[in-house]
Amino acid sequence: MKKVLIPTKLDAVAKDFLNAHGGYSVEQCPGVDLLELAASHPDTYAMIVRSEKVSEEVIEAFPKLKLIIRAGAGYNTIDIQAARKRGIDVMNTPGANSNAVAEEVVALMLADARHLIPADASCRQGLWEKAKFMGREITGKTVGVVGLGHIGRLTIKRLSGFDMRVVGFDPMISTDRAEELGVELMSLEELFSVSDYITLHIPENAATKGIVNKDLFSKMKEGATLINCARYGVVNHDDLRAIKAEKNIRFLNDVYPKDEAGDKPEADIADIMLPHLGASSAEANANAAKMAARIIIDFDEKGITSFIVNRDIPEGLDETYGDLAYTLTSMARGLLGKGKRVKLLETSVYGDLSAFAEWLVVPMVTAINPDFDRSLDHRAALSVLEENGIEYCNRNVDKQKGYGNSITVDLTVENGAGELKSISIRGTVAENQVMIARINDFEKLYFDPKGHTLVLSFADRPGVLGIIAAAVAEAGINIDDVRNPHNEKGDCSIAVLKLNKAASPELVQQLAEKVDAHVAACVQVN
């Protein structure tokens, strides 16, 4: 019997499900210190937690522990690196709480629009202030959904009965998939300018921290409402504080720097504040509990690892090839334009790497969608592509081509007005260094893509490279390396310049016009 420890107030369905399945001995001990439990349950095989802090000390105290399941999506309370060092897999249950959060958004919109909270307090005091609490209807209004993942999509579905115009921002989703959802895609700036209600459903990371700032607040409609049930850090609260009264912005909030008692920094600007109730429904708790139990069984019986969040590189694969897959896709995305929506990802994996083709799609998806967790497995990566309407194909390769251990990435994006635009890049690893070998028809490039790379292709003629170099020098930028081959026909050239700093969009545009470039971009790969 494998012992499963549940040191939290989780729905009993997890314990019942595991016990009914057989093969597991389940102990549920909510509120007991984890180190105390380690002393009394040293044979624990798996642990299901919610918000309990699973530190390195706790992990070391359970000598037989092999699995930690977070009944929920976030796992920042678990030391996943310490778990990996001990060979412990950490998994989560993404999506189990999604409907609860979506319904909370609708509840907040209605509660605020009809002043339900202050009206309740007034009525309990014996007052009758109907005129004071004159509300507004949300039917027929425009709702802007920032982030069209699972929660964003469920929110749209839950609001469908209110006949609202739905606009959305998500750089990952294809136009076709957005149309299926009934969402009109637009830029973040446009969304903030046309929406009566704006609901945030994006993660907090380097790219999104403070993304909702004074520039976006200044574009909001008079009296519009911002709802944040996502992550605290995506909103710049000081910027909101400075403009809120001027534009009469309503702010409905459920997220904080820490989930704990005490004064809240946004109490002065939040019109409704909730104590992070997004996932706090009986159904969400039961869903997460059952999913956690199912994950343990599927892991043991079927080897399903889709929800592991601290996955190692597969045995036998040099991690540099994961960097290669990421870099090729990132370079392709940059050359096509990062704002373009990806339609198709095609890959060719050569040599011994072909055995790892499934795993290599994971870093590729990370390059397309920075919000995707690279520690997840290929099933999760393929699911993200499918959910966003992006086709994926790993082609059979000709083993006689002699490309060795290399990868080709072909990326196709929507170029506006129904047009598509594609690029093909092949790369390899030489002396433990990622190298780009080919871009479209330009072979034998062999350049290091890390850092700032200026790429221009143009009709071959004398003097073009000199024009490019002069313009770059005039901008105060050093050229560290240059590649300038012709294509096989000899009618086109490509200039690949490694720069010591980024070329501005204005400089790239200027160069494109000067040399009549077919492709012109400055790409940064970390």
Rounded average pLDDT per 10-residue block, the chain, 526 residues: 95 95 94 94 96 94 96 86 92 90 98 97 96 96 95 96 96 90 95 98 88 97 97 96 96 92 93 94 94 95 84 76 94 90 95 90 90 76 91 88 90 87 95 93 92 94 93 94 89 94 94 93 89
Q: Are 453 and 447 in contact (CB under 8 A)?
A: yes
Q: Which residues pair with 67 in a beta bridge?
A: 46, 89
Examine the domain organization and report whether 254 and 359 are in the same domain: no
In a domain, residue 255? The reply is yes
In a domain, residue 308? The reply is no
Boundary (domain end) residue, out of 418, 439, 460: 439
- Count of CB atoms within 10 A of residue 90's CB? 26
Examine the domain organization and report whether 53 and 151 are in the same domain: no
Host H or E run for residue 295: helix 282-302
Enter the tokens of residue 468: 């490019």
Examine the domain organization and report whether 196 and 116 are in the same domain: yes
Examine the domain organization and report whether 268 and 323 are in the same domain: no
| Backbone φ, ψ for residue 4 (5° rounding) | -115, 125
How many domains would you assign to the chain?
4
Examine the domain organization and report whether 420 and 503 are in the same domain: no
Rounded to whole angstroms, how far apart are CA atoms 249 and 422?
42
Enter the tokens of residue 166: 């739905």
Rounded to whole angstroms, how far apart are CA atoms 459 and 477?
25
Rounded to whole angstroms, how far apart are CA atoms 190 and 195?
9
Enter the tokens of residue 326: 């990421």
Which CATH number characterizes residue 82's domain? 3.40.50.720
- Count of CB atoms within 10 A of residue 245's CB? 9
Rounded to whole angstroms, how far apart are CA atoms 264 and 262?
6
Rounded to whole angstroms, how far apart are CA atoms 405 and 504?
35
Examine the domain organization and report whether 340 and 191 are in the same domain: no
SS3 percent helix, strand, coil of the chain, rounded to 5, is: 35, 25, 40
In a domain, residue 307? The reply is no
Cα three-residue angle 515-516-517, rounded to 5 degrees = 90
Owning domain of residue 518: 450-526
Rounded to whole angstroms, how far apart are CA atoms 278 and 103?
8
Examine the domain organization and report whether 34 and 127 are in the same domain: no
Q: Which residues pair with 32 in a beta bridge?
A: none
In a domain, residue 6? The reply is yes
Residue 500, Ramachandran bin (φ over 0: left; ψ between -120 and 50: alpha; else beta) = alpha
Examine the domain organization and report whether 166 and 260 are in the same domain: yes
Examine the domain organization and report whether 152 and 193 are in the same domain: yes
* pTM (2 d.p.): 0.82
Examine the domain organization and report whether 418 and 473 are in the same domain: no
Enter the tokens of residue 525: 């790969």
Q: Are 407 and 350 in contact (CB under 8 A)?
A: yes
The closest of 320, 316, 343, 318 to 332, measured between CA atoms, is 343
Enter the tokens of residue 3: 């012992």
- Count of CB atoms within 10 A of residue 345's CB? 22
Give the 3-state secondary structure of residue 34.
helix
Examine the domain organization and report whether 413 and 319 are in the same domain: yes
